[in-house]
Amino acid sequence: MSEDPQLSTFGEQFADAVERVSPGVVTVHGRRRLPGTGIVLNVDDTSAVIVTASHVVEREDNLSIYLASGTKVPATLLGRDLSRDLAVLRAETTNLSSVSDRPRLPRVGTIVMAVGRPWAVTPQATLGTVNAVGQIHSRRAGGIQLIHTDVTMLPGFSGGPLIDGAGYVAGINTSGLLRMANITIPIDQVRAVSADILAYGHVRSGWIGVTVQPVTLPAHAQGETEESESGLLVSGIAADSPAANAGLLVGDILVSVAEAPLGDATDLKHALGSEQIGQALELGILRGGSRQALSVTPVERPDPAS
């Protein structure tokens, strides 16, 4: 039986994609069990920044990565974002190539590959499709934007890239956010987390100074907003906070931030990411049964110890 030329071309395309991304994929030794995978986010004159899944890095010291050549390099943990199961490492080597980002989120149905290097010798890869893109809720992830695929995650694949047919990285794979689910953190979020940790030592989050609790919206308000059956009742406002300065009142019901509906407190938390700090946002509220809009400018969340 002759080989299908289209199938052969398809196979070669993805083999080339794995080969293209492979120099930016490393083995991460940070736990007693099977090593994990990491990607090289950027390389400067003295070192490389590696991002992996946080659950792969069980210890704080004695970390190392293995390059594609098999060379072992010590690594330092710079910080974590537990809500996205990400850890940022620095490796004192420049003998690495950084990955290239996919410019946009993949659409549902896009054929993708998970690439892992739990052993330093050669990369491994599995093929699948994107099942969902958007807010996938869990206790840890809240309502952040995630990519859900049916790609088989082999042992040690967490921290490795999800790539398209050209070898561009759509995000980092993890099995640590949702049980029995393959989740990918989009690459733009990965870079934002890395930038915060490199600049500030932690992931910044926006703060407007409100205490809230979920409530069911009145029937007339549900019909008016056409967004959600629930909102967030403001039960407290910090003095001199962005919310106070914006004119928010106790008893107001928050229904949206920047036109994104607010169903619970995690929605508000993730609507106030580091990129929103210092940026004016439209806050949709219900006051006295009528819809209003306020402009609020989040600041960085204060340190509770300060």
Measured between alpha carbons, how far is 251 from 201 in angstroms, rounded to an integer? 36
**Cα separations (Å) of 202 from 88, 161, 228?**
10, 23, 33
**Local structure of 53: helix, strand or coil:** strand
pLDDT tens digit sequence for 250-269: 999 999 998 888 888 888 88
pLDDT of 137: 52
Residues 6+ apart with CB under 8 A from 81: 54, 87, 193, 197, 203
Relative to beta strand 230-237, strand 253-257 is antiparallel
Instruction: Check pLDDT > 80 for residue 222.
Output: no
The mean pLDDT of 279-288, rounded to a whole number, is 94
Measured between alpha carbons, how far is 267 from 225 in angstroms, rounded to an integer? 16
Instruction: Check pLDDT > 90 for residue 9.
Output: no
pLDDT of 66: 94
- DSSP secondary structure, 242-280, as one string: HHHHHT--TT-EEEEETTEE--SHHHHHHHSBGGGTT--
pLDDT tens digit sequence for 181-206: 789 999 999 999 999 999 999 999 89
- DSSP secondary structure, 143-165, as one string: T-EEEEE-----TT-TTPEEE-T
Task: Give the range among 52-56, 86-90, 94-98 with minimum mean pLDDT.
Answer: 94-98
Measured between alpha carbons, how far is 60 from 76 in angstroms, rounded to an integer? 8
Instruction: Check pLDDT > 70 for residue 225.
Output: no
Long-range contact set of residues 55-62: C-beta below 8 Å, sequence gap at least 24: 55/85, 55/158, 55/174, 55/176, 56/28, 56/30, 56/31, 56/87, 56/158, 56/159, 57/28, 57/30, 57/31, 57/87, 57/89, 58/30, 58/31, 58/32, 59/30, 59/31
Instruction: Check pLDDT > 90 for residue 227.
Output: no
Measured between alpha carbons, how far is 257 from 72 in angstroms, rounded to an integer? 46
Q: Identify the structural domains of the chain with CATH numbers, from first to last.
A: 1-202 (2.40.10.120), 206-300 (2.30.42.10)
- For residue 74, the cross-strand partners are 64
Measured between alpha carbons, how far is 169 from 99 in angstroms, rounded to an integer? 7
Higher pLDDT, 28 or 3: 28
Instruction: Check pLDDT > 50 for residue 139.
Output: no
Whether 51 and 39 have beta carbons less than 8 Å apart is answered as: yes
Banded pLDDT at 236 (limits 50, 70, 90): very high
pLDDT tens digit sequence for 17-39: 999 999 999 999 999 888 999 99
Instruction: Check pLDDT > 60 for residue 138.
Output: no
Distance spanning both ends of the chain, measured CA to CA: 73
Whether 215 and 262 have beta carbons less than 8 Å apart is answered as: no
Whether 75 and 159 have beta carbons less than 8 Å apart is answered as: no
Which one-letter amino acid corresponds to residue 12?
A: E
User: Residue 206 — φ and ψ, nearest 5°?
Assistant: -75, 160
